[in-house]
Structure 1
Amino acid sequence: MPIASEIFNLTFDAAYPRRLAEFWALALGYRLEPPPDGFATWEEALAAWNVPPDEWDSASAIIDPNGVLPRIFFQRVPESKSAKNRVHLDVRAWRYTAPDGGRPPEADVQAAIYAKVAELVAAGATTVGTVEQYGNAWTVLQDPEGNEFCVV
């Protein structure tokens, strides 16, 4: 059975692809995609391919360090974001660690959410607000280019 990284990419439109890629690598525990074989850096590869320096930040990508989850690609587009996302990511701040495989105590979940929100705000996110519904709470943020996402 193929793994997710072999089936699809998730793509973000961006004004500054590298900056957004670095933000989402931090948010998701991913890493920047390494340059192709034979090149020490992306800059070296792009120069060798005669890509003009003003185009070097036209795309960037991040990958799951375990090679299982999908690659996330960031492409520069001329227009800025103008409306609410129709699709967004939920960044899970906690893991199923209870002995029965269930959700940890709510105080632990909320502490993990608070810590992840603080980390992402320090990296350039903006807090939109907190939502409480059906006994759960999560925080809505915007990444450095205004794309909404939730920390759950």
Structure 2
Amino acid sequence: MAAATAQPMGNLPSGIGICTTAPDIFYLPELVFGGLVWILVASTRVTPENPQGWVMFVSVFCFVMTFLWLIIFACGGHKNSGRWAAADFAYHGLAALFYLSASVPLATTTISMRDVNFTYYQIDIAAVVFSYTATLFYFIHCILSAIRWKSF
């Protein structure tokens, strides 16, 4: 009787399986758009360095951590543990919060530099768009990771 009412355990993919499962398929877009933010912000010179420094920290930190997370999941280092599912949810929630906290000052700084240097302005507009897109990917990954975590 107990076997009929048991809930199915969640499953953390490894190997090529991370390219086919719902939350883990977002690793590559997160890396691509985060890397683009990093490159675009690094290629401009803006007078208020403080918001740009935070954007650089967030983009580099999230790029490196997402790459490490991808490698851990691809190698199966999580050993299908519920704690890794919780950590996956927590990391992507933190990354979404970080990117949101970096995207808003980046957009504000970009709007204020409209008349200073048009080339840098266009580059920063692209960085703002990619930053908000990365935020969206991390947020979707966070929601799907929470759903997966609840299945453990």
TM-score above 0.5, yes or no:
no
Q: RCO greater where, 1 or 2, for CA within 8 Å and sep 6 or more?
A: 2
Structure having the larger proportion of residues in helix: 2
